[in-house]
Structure 1
Amino acid sequence: MVHIVLVRHGESSANADGILAGRMPGVSLTRAGIEQIRGLADIFPFRTVAELRCSTLQRCRETAEVLLAGIRAERVRESPEFAEVDYGTWSGRRLAELKELPEWQAVAGRPSTVQFPEGEALSAAAARAVAGVEAFVAELRTAAPAETVPVGVVVAHGDIIKAVLAAALGMPLDDFQRIAVAPGSLSVVKYPGTAHPTVTAMSVTATVRPGEAGTLGGGR
């Protein structure tokens, strides 16, 4: 048995401005985002975890730093497989503007078919995220002492977390927009040794803030 806690970064400057950040540099947490993660640390379901892995992007590194002021991780490392989707030329544009594009209908209804211009396919991003979690689970299971239940934390982005949750729920990628994860939230998936995964918590925040459905990145 392994528990994986999926943490979406706190509100970022791009979230606050309604911009699709993607992999743009210099996107940091807002003051509200820092407070979201401090609150999340207070309600975190595990006080000590075996390992924390986070996206290589600044807003996730900052989230991990704030979270680790309230919980303890025996190991910490950055993991590029949990980096944000590369939205290509959509990066830096306003979500309100992107929603007016004809291509948005595919993002909302057929995400498995979406290839972002000069960027990444959503299916490829989902596949690397799911494979990254599966490898993390296998490593935790192998390294754990007998009779212990290891816990891993992944600090990542909305679409990355939604893809992992969809896979755990047995949902096709084309249904992953039915899931929303709020900034500064945690979701928990239990991975038993032989049975299917079980999602035991989804988009839990310290302030009961919901995610936004049907948009990229899990909304604001």
Structure 2
Amino acid sequence: MVHIVLVRHGESHANAAGILAGRLPDIALTSGGAEQIRRLIEVLPWQRVTEVRHSTVQRCEETTEVLLEGIEAGAVRPAPEFVEVDYGEWSGRRLEDLKALPEWREVAQRPSAMVFPGGETLAAAAERAVGGVRSFVCDLRAQADPDAPPESAPVGIVVAHGDIIKAVLAAALGMPLDDFQRIAVAPGSYSVITYPREGHPTVTAMSVTARGRTGQPGMLGGGA
């Protein structure tokens, strides 16, 4: 058995401004976003984890730094497979303006077919994220003692972005990507998936925040 904890970065300045940040540089956490993560540490199911892997985007690097103020990790490494979706020409634009575009209907209703102009497809982003978690689970299993009790199962943390986490959760739930907008993931939240050695994964927590904040439905990233 392996536990994967999916942590969405805390509120960024782009979240606060209603802007789709994508992979733009110099998008930092707000002071409130950093505080979200400090409070999240208090409600995490594990304070000692086997490994942390994080997106290489600044807001996730900063989230990881704050997390490590309060938890112990056997290893920490950047993981490009969990980087934000490349939204291309949409990056840096206001979400309210994007929602007025005809392409927004595709994002909302048929995301598996969405190709962001000058960017990547949501399907490609989902594939790399799900593959990244699968690889992480395999690496953690290789470190596990098969005779150890369940409470000592390896725990890995993935620090990533809303759409990336939603895609991983959808795959664990057996949902097609076209249904992944049914999931909302709040900034500064954690979700947990348990992967047994045999059988299907189980989602045991979703979008848990220290202050009960929820994600906003129908939004890129699962809610600002």
Q: Tell me if both proteins adopt one fold, taking TM over 0.5 as the criterion.
A: yes
With normalisation by structure 2, the TM-score equals: 0.97
The corresponding residue for 1:151 is 155
The corresponding residue for 1:70 is 70
The corresponding residue for 1:18 is 18
Aligned residue identity for 2:46? F
CA–CA distance in structure 2, aligned partners of residues 202 and 153 of structure 1: 14
The corresponding residue for 1:219 is 223
- Pair 1:43-2:43 in alignment: yes
Aligned-residue identity in percent: 68
Aligned residue identity for 1:71? I
Alpha-carbon shift at residue 214 of structure 1 (Å) = 0.9
The corresponding residue for 2:175 is 171
CA–CA distance in structure 1, aligned partners of residues 180 and 54 of structure 2: 21
CA offsets, 1:115-147, max 9 Å, x none? 000100000000000000000000000112331
Aligned residue identity for 2:104? W
- Pair 1:201-2:208 in alignment: no
Structure 2: runs of 5 or more not aligned: none
Aligned residue identity for 2:172? A
Describe the SS at the equivalent of 1:180: coil
CA–CA distance in structure 2, aligned partners of residues 151 and 75 of structure 1: 11
Describe the SS at the equivalent of 2:37: helix
Alpha-carbon shift at residue 219 of structure 1 (Å) = 1.4
Aligned residue identity for 1:59? R
The corresponding residue for 2:99 is 99
Q: What count of residue pairs does the alignment treat as equivalent?
A: 220
CA–CA distance in structure 1, aligned partners of residues 132 and 208 of structure 2: 22
With normalisation by structure 1, the TM-score equals: 0.99
Structure 1: runs of 5 or more not aligned: none
Aligned residue identity for 1:219? G
The corresponding residue for 1:2 is 2
C-alpha RMSD of matched pairs (Å): 0.6
CA–CA distance in structure 2, aligned partners of residues 22 and 218 of structure 1: 13
Alpha-carbon shift at residue 218 of structure 1 (Å) = 1.1
The 5 Å alignment of 1:27-42 reads: 27-42=27-42
CA–CA distance in structure 2, aligned partners of residues 7 and 103 of structure 1: 29
Q: List structure 1 runs of 4+ shifted beyond 2 angstroms.
A: none
Describe the SS at the equivalent of 1:107: helix
